[in-house]
Each structure stands twice: as structure tokens, then as C-alpha cells.
Amino acid sequence: MLRQNKYFFPALGVLLIVVLIAGIAFGAVPISVADMYNALLHLFQGKPAGNIYEGVFIQLRLPRVLLCAITGSILAVSGVLMQGLFRNPIVEPGLVGTSSGAALGASIVFVMAPAFSPAMKSFTGPWLLPLAAFCGALLASFIVYSLAKNARRVSVLSLLLIGIAINAVCLSGTGFMSYIARDPQARSITFWNLGTFSGASWQQVFIVGAIAVIGFIISFRYSKQLNALLLGEEEALYLGVDPDRLKKRIMLLNTAMVAVATAFVGVIAFMGLIVPHVLRLLIGSDNKRLLPAAMLLGAALLTLADMCARLLLAPAELPIGIITSIVGAPVFIILLKRFDLMQNKGGEHA
Amino acid sequence: MLSTRNIYYRIGKKLILKGINADFLPGKFNMILGPNGSGKSSFLKIFSGDLNRYDGNISYAGTPLEQISKEKLACYRAVMSQLPELSFPLLVEEVVMMGRYPHFHFQPNKKDHEVCHAVMERMNLLDFRTRNYLTLSGGEKQRVQFARVLAQIWEKPADGFRYLFLDEPLTSLDINYQQEFLQIASSFCDAHTVIIAVIHDINLAIQYADQLFFMKAGELVAQGSPDTLINENLISKVFDVSTSIMRNPLTGKPLVLFANS
């Protein structure tokens, strides 16, 4: 096991940097490392881009890769947080309604707002879309949790089943919105339901990045309390942690992070399942290491997935959700089987 | 000292505890016994601070429980409950370190590491420290949990008392470890420590307890030292079984024998 290995985090960091550079370099227009260097040099000197490659790098490739990396970290960290809260390895934002609720909220505003009130859009500016996504995500997650909760416990099986139902409602809602949309981007239903980074802009990078930084700092601060919760709510209480307060705060934080990312890139499923699963095998489940590791590996893996999405059928582009689902669904099935096995053994409960 | 006054507790319409007054003194191994459903576990959860919808007063060394913050209480009150399950892999030493959580903010300091080492040494767990908790047997898990609980209150507080509560701690242990477990627990027994255990095995209780509390149907029906308290009448009344009492030739203490009632 690598859990005691001090080279683990540096190795993850190097992996992330390599993947980021590769993600920038490969694409419809290949960009050399020299172009990247010159472009950044010109940017910091305040000069315009030297050639077309530098322009593509600054205006298209860099924001896309950054947005992708930040989204990947958010989804992976969110998976770790939710799994800690429910003490179960098979929950993630795509499965319990958070992502699809966010997509529905965002798509309603994206399609309806310009038609009804152009003033509204200018009033809240770039934050309108994330705000709507947050409301949608909060509503959908709240419905799922309150329906899945019986007495004091949340049953994971009903959580997953009700998650499926709410996901279906939200997906058909976004489907309807796409159907009546005029905007060509929103017209494509794959944009919302399978995710894409093709529309990435610097403004989106800053908005999602700001939420991610705040969210990560706060969730890392709660890593000790989240560990205590692994023992159960009663034990956590005896260790001085208020489990109800902790759950509310983490849920809110988590919903905000996932909603804002989803507002711009659509639903990307299974990232919150794959990354924590791999990391738990490698370094165990101490949230103090798991959360930062999920941040790094999530960023690297989603950037890699986006690169595949661009290159596999080039010059056409695959929706990224297809790539993450192909890898994620088997992981989900493995976890589900193991969970089933654990339950049937009788002694264990989750 | 831990005092409870007029503790009433109900679930729905059912009255679980009917006005319990008890004083648990430091330096004594206090044990609570009683049949299933007598309310002993609820009582322990109430004075531990887990359940808070009760009526009555609880005070830790004179300070009312509701005036002590959960964070602060966790620094000097530890509870071993019936085997908690982990749903994720953690190392044994990581689980034991959880006991130190109330004492540090983000990173454990040298003191916390020393305490964990000392506890694991005491519990014969040093060889297990890098084992995955999920791969341990039931009895081994219980020892790890006990180590975690002891790590939480390992040092005596500068002023006041520390409190150790054990809720049926012996369930998955074999005879050898049951004895060892209670020996370790009683070695914690000193003028600065209040120990209360809920226990099922009456003869083990007699062997190790200094003060016994018998509960039945939500009431405290008898209390006293094992030597003076134990008689056929009491045991038959509390547990509804026929009993005979003799001397244990090995310990010299009362030994309770049971027959079909």
C-alpha cells in the first residue's frame, strides 16, 4: 500500500502538470510548449498574442483545460464529502440528483431568462446561471434526502432509487428546455445531460475557480470531523462533533460547488465515484489525505477524459459524459455488488 | 462525581426511565445491571450527553451537563458503545488517533502520538498498528475501539475528573480478553476518574465492580457493594430467574448460579 509513501502527493502533482500540458498541446490545432511559453510571456508583458497558436492557447485551450481541471476536482472532492456523510462508497453528486437538479435550474434560466426579462440577466450578471443551478441542485437534493430518510437514518438503497426518479424528472425537464430553446448551444440536449467543455471561457474559469477555492478550504477544515463521522453519528458526538450541524454545512457547501460547475459544463457523471474509489485503494480513507488527493487526481482524470473526448473522433468531439460513464459505470457496479455482499453477510450495516 | 436527579425519559408514550437518582463516585468501578429493556442503555446515553430529550438534572462535578459544550466534554468524557462499524478502510493507528481528535485542532502533536503509542502498547496492539481495521476479527476490532476510547481520556485532567463510560463492552470478547478488558478498565479507577459500565454478566460484575446498580423497568431498584448487596432474593426479583449463591473459591466473592425458573 502507498498510504505511507511520502512521494504520493508529489507524484500526483507531477501527473496533474503533465496531463494539463498534454491537454493543452493536443487538439484540433496542436500547440507546442514553446507557443505556450511565448503566449504566457506576451500575456504578462501586456503584448498581444504573437501568432495564431498563441491566440488559440490563451483564448480557447487554456480556459478549457483549466475549467476542466477545476470541475474534475470539484466532482471528486464532492464524491469524497458525500461518501463521508452517508458512510457509504456508492453516493456521488450525479446519482442523488444534485447534478441533474443543477442542470435543470441552469437550463431553465439559460432558455427562459432572455425571453422574459433581459434586465434580469444584466442585474445578476454572470452569477445568474450559477445561482439558478444552485437553487435547482438544492431543491433536487433536498427532495431526494427527505424522501430517502426514514427515522434518523438515510437508507442508501432508497437514496439511489429516489435519485434515479428525481434524475429522470430533471433530465426530462432539461430535455424540454432544450427542445424549446432558440440558442443553438442550449438546443443540444447533450450539452446539459452529457457535459461538454467546448464553451469554456475565462469568465467561467474565474467563477467556478472562486467557488472551488472557497469550497476546498472549508471542506479541508472539516476533514477531522468527517473522519469522526466514519465511526457513526453517536461516536462522532462522543468525540465532540455535532453531526447534524456538520451534515447541513457539508451538504450546502457541496451543493454549491457541484451546482456552479454543472451550470457551465452540464452533468458529468461518475467522477465522484471513480476518483475516491481509486484513492481509497491506494491511500486509505483518512479524509485529511483523501480530500487533497481527490482534488489533484480528479483534476488530472477529467482533463484526460476531455482530451480523449476531443481526440477520439477528431475533428468531431464526443460529449465528455460518455467517456466518464464508460469508465464509471463498471466501478459503480463493482461497488454496488460489494455493498450488496456486505449487507447479505448480515453483520455489517452501512 | 456524576449525579443524576429525577431522570425521566419517554419514547412516544412509553416511559423508559422513571425518576432515577444516582451518584457515581470516582475511585470506584460502578456497574449498572438489569434485564433487557430495563432502560440501562438509555440511561447511559442520557448521562453521556447523547440523548437530550429527557427531564431531570445531570451534573458533572457540580456543573450541569447542558452547560458543558460537546467539544469540551469530549476532552474528559469517553464512551465505549456497542461495536461501531466502519464503512471504509482505515489503519488501526488511524482509528486510535481518532480518540485524540478532541485534543488537537488539525494536526496531532507529539503528545497525541505518544498517547496513542502508550495506549496501543497497553492493549497489545502495536503489531496491529498498520493493519486495515476492516480485516480484523470482532474481538480485535473491540480492542481497537477500546484503545481509541482510552486514548481520548488517557491523561488525568489538571482539575476535576475524567469519565469513562462503557456500554456492554464485552460482547465479542472471549473469556481471556473479558478479564483483561475489565482489568485494564479497573486500573483506570482512581480518585480522578469516574467509571460506569453497563454489563450483562453478573458474575463478571461482582468480580470487578466496587458499586453495583440494579435497574428494572426504568427504576433503580438496588445499589451497593457486591459483598453486601448480592442475595438470592434480589437477583431473582430483578431477573425473574431462580438463583443460588455460593462463594467463588478463586476470588472469595459471591458467585451467582442460575436454574430454570
B133-148 confidence digits (pLDDT tens): 888 888 888 899 999 9
Q: Based on the structure, what is the number of domains in chain B? A: 1
Does A343 score more than 60 pLDDT?
A: no
Report ipTM (2 d.p.). 0.89
Question: Closest to B88 (Cβ–Cβ): which among A3, A241, A280?
Answer: A280
Residue of B nearest to A280 (CA): B89
* Mean confidence (pLDDT) of chain A: 84
What gap in Å lies between CA A43 and CA A54, rounded to an integer? 10
> Residue B178 sits in a domain of what CATH number?
3.40.50.300
- pTM for this entry: 0.87
CA distance A144 to chain B (A): 22
Range of the domain at B15: 2-259
Q: Chain A residues with CB inside 8 Å of B172's CB?
A: none
Best of B50, B71, B87 to disrupt the A interface by mutation (most A CBs within 10 Å)?
A: B87
pLDDT of residue B75: 92
Q: Based on the structure, what is the number of domains in chain A? A: 1
> Residue A237 sits in a domain of what CATH number?
1.10.3470.10
The percent of residues in chain B predicted with pLDDT above 70, rounded, is 100
Coil, strand or helix: which one is B129?
coil
The percent of residues in chain A predicted with pLDDT above 70, rounded, is 88
pLDDT of residue A120: 56
Q: Quick one: pLDDT band at residue A346, thresholds 50, 70, 90?
A: very low
Q: What is the CA radius of gyration of chain B?
A: 19
- Residue A3 domain-assigned (yes or no): no
Q: Cβ separation of A237 and B94 shorter than 8 Å? A: no
Q: Chain A residues with CB inside 8 Å of B98's CB?
A: 227-228, 231, 239
What gap in Å lies between CA B94 and CA A72, rounded to an integer? 28
- Residue A350 domain-assigned (yes or no): no
B137 — contact with chain A (CB < 8 Å)? no
- The residues with which B30 forms a beta bridge, in sequence order, are B196, B211
Does A314 score more than 90 pLDDT?
A: no
pLDDT of residue B207: 92
B70 — contact with chain A (CB < 8 Å)? yes
Cell 434480589 locates to B234
Residues whose CB falls within 8 Å of the CB of residue B79, separated by 6 or more in sequence, listed in order = A235, A238, B44, B48, B50, B149, B165, B166, B167
CA distance B251 to chain A (A): 35
Does A155 score more than 80 pLDDT?
A: no
Q: Cβ separation of A240 and B73 shorter than 8 Å? A: yes
CB A265 within 8 A of CB A71: yes
Model confidence over B21-58: pLDDT tens digits? 999 999 999 999 999 889 999 999 999 998 888 999 99
> H helices within chain A, ranges in order?
8-25, 33-45, 52-56, 62-86, 98-116, 118-124, 128-148, 156-180, 184-187, 189-193, 202-221, 223-229, 233-238, 243-265, 271-283, 287-311, 320-344
* Mean confidence (pLDDT) of chain B: 90
Range of the domain at A108: 8-344
Q: What is the mean pLDDT of residues A8-27?
A: 92
pLDDT of residue B152: 94
Q: Cβ separation of B88 and A3 shorter than 8 Å? A: no
Q: Chain B residues with CB inside 8 Å of A240's CB?
A: 70-75, 101-102
Q: Chain B residues with CB inside 8 Å of A285's CB?
A: 88-90
Chain A residues near any Cβ of chain B (below 8 Å):
3-4, 83, 87-89, 221, 224, 227-228, 230-232, 234-235, 237-242, 280, 284-286, 348-350
Question: Closest to B86 (Cβ–Cβ): which among A224, A230, A239?
Answer: A230
Model confidence over B104-118: pLDDT tens digits? 888 899 999 999 999
Does B8 score more than 90 pLDDT?
A: yes
Model confidence over A274-301: pLDDT tens digits? 899 889 888 888 999 999 999 999 999 9
Q: Cβ separation of B49 and A237 shorter than 8 Å? A: yes
CB A205 within 8 A of CB A63: yes
pLDDT of residue A72: 95
Q: What is the mean pLDDT of residues A66-88?
A: 93
Q: Quick one: pLDDT band at residue A348, thresholds 50, 70, 90?
A: very low
Query: How many CB contacts within 8 angstroms connect chain A with chain B?
Result: 77
pLDDT of residue A329: 86
pLDDT of residue A349: 39
Q: How many CA atoms lie within 13 A of B102 on its CB side?
A: 26
Q: Cβ separation of A285 and B88 shorter than 8 Å? A: yes
Q: Quick one: pLDDT band at residue A35, thresholds 50, 70, 90?
A: confident
Q: Cβ separation of B89 and A87 shorter than 8 Å? A: no
- Residue A108 domain-assigned (yes or no): yes
Does B202 score more than 80 pLDDT?
A: yes
Q: Chain B residues with CB inside 8 Å of A221's CB?
A: 106
Q: What is the mean pLDDT of residues A65-74?
A: 95
Q: Cβ separation of B102 and A240 shorter than 8 Å? A: yes
